Structure 1
Amino acid sequence: MTAPTPEGGARLSAEALSGLARKYRALADLRLARARGEAIPDKQVFRALAREFPGALNELDNLPLDEIERRLDAIARAQGGAPEERWMAWIHGYHALMRAALYVKIRVARREALSEIEASSLAERAAEHAGAAVDAAFVMGVKAPPDGRLNRLVLGRLAAMFGASPAELRATMFPGRPRGSG
């Protein structure tokens, strides 16, 4: 995962921008199909979207179509060399860290204890799987997340990376989402 700074440091890779464009195009297509009264797609469509982009189903449920289209336009401009909007790095980072958290969660859920060596090893595997830099502390945080919510752990990590508050991150990435939901 590229770790851009809020001051305009490293840009997201072309691959990362392409992935975000693909996600928002899928969200727009799903929204438009529903508006036309088409049948709801098979569960596998939603599972694949959620697997690659954890949190995307929240966006599908809560982002207005005009915001989805605005995000698509902003990504297209960034792909053409225009400055990236800060939410792009944030949501890219969110997806990667949440993929890592979910990878870890299924591997630690029933474990009573986890040694530092086991946590470090699992962090390496999670980082490889998710494309996100995570460490043993992140793994331990997944084992016992703040208030039992992985979303709070991920938002806290993003806040530290980007110098924004968890509330600002949440409000920017998931506008319209109920406040107590993560």
Structure 2
Amino acid sequence: LRKLQKMSPPEVRVNGADPSEWEWDGPDVSLKPGDKYTITLSPHDAPDAPIRFVKEEGDPVGDGEDDYYTIVGAFNDWEGDRMEDGLVTGLRTLTLDAPGGGTLDFRFLKNGEEDQVIYPATDKCTSRSAPVLGPVAEDMGREKNVWSVKAEAGQSVKIDLFICRGRRSVMWTIFQNEHFLPSE
């Protein structure tokens, strides 16, 4: 951070009298939320070398409408059950019955592909606000992590997966006799 503070501001190249035609090595003037830039520091650079921002070109973040998601767990022998599209773009939902053991463990697969696992940061995760990781094929064993919902055998559990424009969340609701049960 100290090296960055000592560096000169991004270089500006003057191309004529109109400033709108000038070029510079700083962030784009039409910067949008989600744009990413890289600043490379090298021990060989002069201490007062100008900072250079390089925009990361990646796949444009879409709304994911072309993708589908499956849910897998012991309840379906780890074979994917396709989730239904919800009323909101990016929302997928499925209602399952809690198994006899009272615990519903699950994770997701993007497009039903086993190398596109979506999983929580911790195993047996009971938090709806835990980070949603993936899709990846491998992540040092963490791709085997599951969300875990405790419910009485036979209770309906509605599971929602939301993935759209870089935002992700997992939610579940437990129902008994078609009525919502508040959870812990």
Q: Report the TM-score, using the length of structure 2 for normalisation.
A: 0.23
Greater share of strand: 2
Greater share of helix: 1
Greater relative contact order, per chain length (Cα 8 Å cut-off, separation 6+): 1
Q: Report the TM-score, using the length of structure 1 for normalisation.
A: 0.23
Larger radius of gyration: 2
